[in-house]
């Protein structure tokens, strides 16, 4: 076991949903430590080809170790943001894939690796960049330089934190004394800001704010809808897209985007004929998200908030005709 290895979440349902077979081309947009990718590669050999993308170079090194024994020469790992999916496929002369996976968020490794600031449970600088080589804005920069209003907005939108304004005010007061630069400093401020009586909700009081800052630092939400549309467009006809999310905001975006991709004509009912010309790109495979069973949540508590949704492409063209 390398430090990167962790139990891939919803592994079996994801493999089933992707309906993999030998010879297929597959793309894992969030290859991480290669947990899912390893099993995907096994399922598409002989003859298959896998592209694994991650914006964290350390994750790619771990994925390389996981994949090499399975099928050297049958995969390629790409250091990039999955927002560049279509360009990546072009640059690698990749035919339209039959399977695409996004397993969103941070890996267990990123969370536990000290020094990156993703977790309130690990002391470290407030960094939170998934790609420190290319990103400039850290969580510390947001916390110390953002206006209280901006911070409250981030905590509310990306963390659904009901004490967002109070926490932002407390941060504003605290940083006047000294900059807030570490995970423990921030956690202390959050604990002070949330009234004791409101803290008994089961979650760690800092969980939502840390999640919100991570999403903001990495632009995770802005990317997602477009990435899903690009993935659907890139798929081969009959190809499948599987997406695993870990918080409700992301799950909502996946649900809505899949609904939109599965919707045809949107003309007003009283028009005699369709003028919008919109056609569905495919069908939703999961009317409700698939969630981990009890055995999985027991074995891997991180899986608890995981939700899997799937989409199957049916039409040859994209909704906007591309």
Ligand X SMILES: C[S@@+](CC[C@H](N)C(=O)[O-])C[C@H]1O[C@@H](n2cnc3c(N)ncnc32)[C@H](O)[C@@H]1O
Interface contacts to ligand X, rule CB under 6 A: 8, 30, 32-36, 53-56, 59, 81-83, 103, 105-107, 130, 223
DSSP string over 165-214: HHHHHHHHHHHHHS---BHHHHHHHHHHHS-GGG--SSS-TTHHHHHHHH
Residue nearer to Zn ion on the CB measure, 162 or 279:
279
**Could you tell me which residues come within 8 angstroms of residue 118 by beta carbon, excluding any fewer than 6 positions away?**
106, 110, 111, 128, 210, 214
Q: Of ligand X, Zn ion, none, which one does residue 223 interact with (CB within 5 to 8 Å by kind)?
A: ligand X
Residues 114 and 44: their CA atoms lie apart, in Å, by: 36
Residue nearer to Zn ion on the CB measure, 273 or 295:
273
Q: Per CB under 5 A, does 315 bind Zn ion?
A: no
Residue nearer to Zn ion on the CB measure, 1 or 273:
273
Q: Of Zn ion, ligand X, none, which one does residue 250 interact with (CB within 5 to 8 Å by kind)?
A: none
The widest CA-to-CA distance across the chain, in whole angstroms, is: 67
Burial per residue of 253-262, b for 16 or more beta-carbon CB atoms within 10 angstroms, e otherwise:
bbbebbebbb
Angle, vertex CA 163, rays to CA 162 and CA 168, nearest 5: 130
Q: Per CB under 5 A, does 276 bind Zn ion?
A: yes
Among 267, 284, 291, 315, binds Zn ion (CB under 5 A): 267
For residue 49, the cross-strand partners are: 25
Q: Of ligand X, Zn ion, none, which one does residue 13 interact with (CB within 5 to 8 Å by kind)?
A: none
Q: Per CB under 5 A, does 263 bind Zn ion?
A: no
Residues 255 and 43: their CA atoms lie apart, in Å, by: 27
Q: Of Zn ion, ligand X, none, which one does residue 59 interact with (CB within 5 to 8 Å by kind)?
A: ligand X
Among 16, 45, 237, 265, binds Zn ion (CB under 5 A): 265
Q: Per CB under 5 A, does 19 bind Zn ion?
A: no
Residue nearer to ligand X on the CB measure, 83 or 193:
83
Q: Per CB under 5 A, does 274 bind Zn ion?
A: yes
Cβ atoms 308, 252 nearer than 8 A: no
Contact positions vs Zn ion (CB under 5 A): 265, 267, 274, 276
């Amino acid at each position: 076991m390398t430090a990167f290895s962790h139990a891939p979440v919803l592994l079996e349902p994801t493999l089933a949903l992707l309906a993999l077979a030998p010879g297929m081309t597959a793309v894992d947009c969030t290859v991480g430590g290669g947990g899912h990718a390893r099993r995907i590669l096994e399922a598409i050999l002989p003859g298959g080809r896998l592209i694994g993308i991650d914006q964290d170079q350390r994750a790619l090194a771990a994925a390389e170790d996981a994949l090499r024994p399975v099928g050297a020469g049958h995969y390629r790992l790409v250091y990039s943001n999955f927002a560049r999916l279509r360009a990546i496929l072009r640059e690698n002369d990749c035919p339209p894939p039959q399977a695409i996976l996004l397993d969103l968020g941070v890996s267990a490794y990123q969370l536990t690796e000290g020094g990156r600031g993703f977790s309130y449970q690990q002391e470290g600088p407030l960094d939170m960049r998934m790609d420190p080589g290319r990103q400039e804005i850290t969580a510390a920069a947001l916390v110390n330089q953002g206006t209280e209003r901006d911070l409250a907005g981030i905590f509310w939108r990306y963390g659904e934190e009901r004490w967002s304004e109070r926490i932002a005010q407390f941060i504003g007061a605290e940083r006047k004394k000294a900059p807030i630069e570490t995970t423990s400093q921030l956690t202390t401020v959050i604990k002070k800001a949330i009234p004791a009586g409101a803290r008994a909700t089961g979650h760690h009081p800092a969980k939502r704010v840390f999640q919100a800052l991570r999403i903001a630092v990495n632009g995770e939400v802005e990317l997602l809808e477009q990435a899903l549309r690009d993935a659907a467009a890139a798929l081969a006809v009959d190809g499948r897209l599987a997406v695993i999310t870990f918080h409700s905001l992301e799950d909502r975006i996946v649900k809505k985007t899949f609904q939109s991709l599965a919707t045809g004509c949107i003309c007003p009912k009283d028009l005699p004929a369709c003028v919008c010309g919109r056609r569905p790109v495919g069908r939703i495979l999961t009317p409700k998200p698939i969630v981990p069973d009890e055995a999985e949540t027991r074995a891997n508590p991180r899986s608890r908030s995981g939700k899997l949704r799937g989409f199957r492409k049916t039409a040859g063209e994209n909704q906007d005709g591309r």
